[in-house]
Structure 1
Amino acid sequence: MRLSPLFSRSISRFTLPLMAAGALVAGTTHAARAQQLFGDEFSGSFNANGAWNTYLPWQNLGRTQFGLSPSIASENGVSFARLPMRTYNDAYNASNPMLQSTEIFSKNTYQVGTGIEFEARLRGFNVPRGAVFGLYAYNEKGVWPNGYLKEEIDFEVLSNMAKNQFWSNIWNDWNGRYAYNDGIHNQDQIVTVGNMNYTAWTTYTARWYPDRVEWYVNGTLARTSKTIVPDDPLSVHFNIWAPDSGWAPAYDAAMQPTGNISKNVTCSLDVDYVRVRRLPLPLKGIWGDGDGLAATLYPQPNFAGTPVKRVDPRLNHDWKTFSPDTSIPNDNFSAKWTGTIASPFSENVTLTLRADDGVRLYLDNKLLINDWRITAPTERSVTVAMKANVKVPIRVEYFEGTGGASAQLLWQSASMPKGIVPQSQLFSNLDNTAPTLTLAAPGPNYSYRSLSATGTATDADSGVARVFATLKRASDGLYWNGSAWGSAQASLGATLSGANWTLPLGTLGDGRYTITVSALDKAGNSASLPARDFWFDNAAPTTAITTPANGASYATLSAASGNASDIGTGVASVSTAFLRSSDGLWWTGSAWSANYSEVKATFDGTNWKLAMPALSGGAYIFWAQSYDYAGNIGAWTRSDFTLSSSATTSARTSASATATPKPTVKTSSARAS
């Protein structure tokens, strides 16, 4: 529908449900069978099937007020819908004179998928002049002015034109801020077809593919557009209306509205049938039915501020000096587009970002283009090997400084000319849910001699892209980068295996550390766990024996005692061994035994104590050893003493000190307590 660049269409469109697109099809010719999605033969009463909406009296176009309804007529056994237009207006307003007319549009909308065919058989007129009628497919979205965008495939017949001509229009994301007929968002063309006579029954067919649109009249290809291709779901429209003088080729001053019914002139558009079919793609390759990329728009640079989220059918934006959304400023904003991309062919594909200003391109989570700077519209390209119908994660990051703003994603290969990546090959996989993350080790405030941090990471939507951690040393606040300590916060990448992740940390210096673990999914959502403290400790504790003193002699001895200390995680326990030299027996805590035995002492964090059995005179050897919380084991401390009725507590050397066996010295792997 041809509109002046300054024209603001006052028709409020309905919000329409989307008819599901067909499955993937690998097609090679038009001969493959098309699937009919909708049809109306217009018999009986109009809209008996409930498939149509009719424009209401408050909706207008040009100098035409809608609100009339179609009727069903019949000629020679053929029934058809008749859409009337009349110069008489029963609500005539001399200050704003309007004709009265009819427009209908389908309640269903249709997505391109592998291809859609809109076909209708119409009959028009060339008297009176000054009327426009026809078939078109249409979508409008967003909020006026910046976000208001229109898409259309149009057969418009002007009763001023020759009978074998029509006016063809193609729109994609167009509104009045772009120059009309700019060849990027909008292009119209007058077409002459030899076998066409629009005053007789004529079949009009529009074939809409992911890479082009074709117009046919009575089976003859009349026009093809490859540079402009709509990508939003479209509804089917029929209308008849009268333009104002702003569209000079279609205007006729003789057609004037009137409030006098005796001066009424009536004309009509007749519609025999309409059919909407799903087409197999007439190209080699495997084409998809994607919905586009998930877009997240931020009102500040560097992805800051409250974002706006939506799905963009294609990454094909030229905002000029406007903003992408009413809640986003014209300058100093940023955006991300995420999802997957699938090539129809197995071959090398050149991906190009054309943008003003900075952009980054991640493919399969690898950074391939990084041009993060203020610049005029510039193309950045990378060539990658892609496999047919294999979806690959893609993420585009963008920022706008000041002035013009644009962001476009194009591709090119041996099988595909350079052009905007079509919606059919982009899949939003809209995922706003962060991954689920756990940390199994280290445990909170646990102690280790060496450590591999472990846990799980899952994401049911787009999948986990990576798990990473920061490791901070408490003693000086420095961060570990995998080889050295530094003041910059460093990210340590974990290894993923299914739902499990592992991050080897090895053995670091003794002391307290803080680990913070995060995960990122393939849609860019992140999750982080609370920081967790733990300890590295490889220093063994030390143990002192106060009583019995080495070399001392006692008349009685009711308890052994001493202290234990550890510079790392602290002493966890103290173990003792007690040998009676006269017979080589070991104290078990309740009896003397020939088998080696250890008895655990009580420990209050500093001092330890062990009750002694009733002792007879003779020589004894007592050992004490401590364990820390990291599992380090201290050396045995030995004290040789005797028990005698005439004993003194002065130290002296035991005669059996070198002849008596020592307790077994045990070692331990890392443990946590």
Structure 2
Amino acid sequence: MNPARRATATAVVLAAAGALLSAVAPAASAAVSCASPTYQRQFFANTTFSGTPKKTDCDATVAEKWGTGAPATGLPKDNFGVRWTVTRDFGSGGPFALPVTAQDGIRVYLDGSRKIDLWKNVSTTQKKTVNVTVPSGKHTLRVDFVNWTGAADVSFAYTPRTTPDVDKVKPLVPAGASVAYDPATGRAKVSWAKNKEMDLAGYRVYRWPSGSPSKAVPLATTTATGYTDTTLPVTGETFFYGVRAYDKAGNESAGTAGKPVTTVDRTAPGAPSGLGIADASEANGLRLSWSSVPGAASYRVYRATGETGTYTRLGGTAEPSYRDATAAVGTAYSYRVTAVDAAGNESARSAALTGTRRDDTPPPPVTGLKATPTDDGFELTWDKNPAPDLLRYSVYAGRILSDGEESVCSASEAAWLMPDVTSYRYTTVPDGEERCFFVDAVDSSWNSRYKLTGEADVVVATEPGAPAEPGTEDEVTGPAS
């Protein structure tokens, strides 16, 4: 029950020329503004709603049980009228029920069109419900109630009909959608204006990546007018947000225009795999290689003196390989590699790989080679090679081939000798035949100057038993093949 306030009159007594003048001014109905959806309520001292209302105030609902008394000061207990008026936004509109109860008369209007008419003096409460369809937008409802005699009571409501078989009207698209992105937290806050729907059930927030349609499954459902997305991938990609309203009948509005957010990139690429030694004897270093990583802009190489040791950053490269020029020959190192994307995010480290830089420097040339003829061949002798990692000597024997301008020793390996051996007896040479010889030193990394350069110091000699030709006993040096 919403009791009316008493209207007061002001009495003014004036003294003029020794006479008393009395004037009583009735209170006028002041202009009253009521914020929608609150009703403006007017009280009339008649049943025709004529003249100036005795009182005007605001009323949240039409629900009164005045009984047999006057509803407000200055009104009679019978033959009075009360009018409620409200203009409000119905959003997308739709089906509504207008239930009323009254004793005595009641009329209900929608935009001036009468929808309910129970206009008679009764001794018991009369009831009625009328179903109407309210268009979208703003509309005005007016309720006129009169009491002729006896008790007075009245109630009215306008209620959305929300069953799916009745309500087929979609809510309006939420207005004012916006999104704010916080790079520090990687969160996006989506906001929108409150929907005008009276049967609104809530909102659905959608997110989809750039270049893809909006997803059918909402990211979140809420009854608020904002949502903070804490699951946004921090991958440097662009995502869009949209909002849809849905009502109690299950109708969903169209979506707002997509609002873009470009995230910061804090997602590292995958760790490199396939780490291996591409070439342990590459000139001036040891070369590593690995499989390319999608999204990697560069790679970082880390090295330790043991697999479980402390890894320090060795260098970087834009290619899936790296030459460790600082690795000491013969020392084992462990390596790990990471991938780095364009935003500077670094991946986890690869599995460790242990490798040793091979010696790529061949021993110095063998010197002092002599071929001394014997009864059945030649006795070869040479100086001990100074290489500390000498593995063996390879003795080559062959024949001199000449085209008239150049002579070449066409030889093949005749023997492999231990590093402490500096002589070799070459036999089974027919008397008087000429042979060419050279000796190559090979180290423990299988470096060979002859195989590296194709050159060697050659000695030519003739087996005794036939007249010696001039010059055949001299030492001859030159290319070998």
TM-score by length of 1: 0.30
Tell which structure's C-alpha radius of gyration is larger.
Answer: 2
Instruction: Identify which of structures 1 and 2 has the higher relative contact order when contacts are C-alpha pairs closer than 8 Å and 6+ apart.
Output: 1
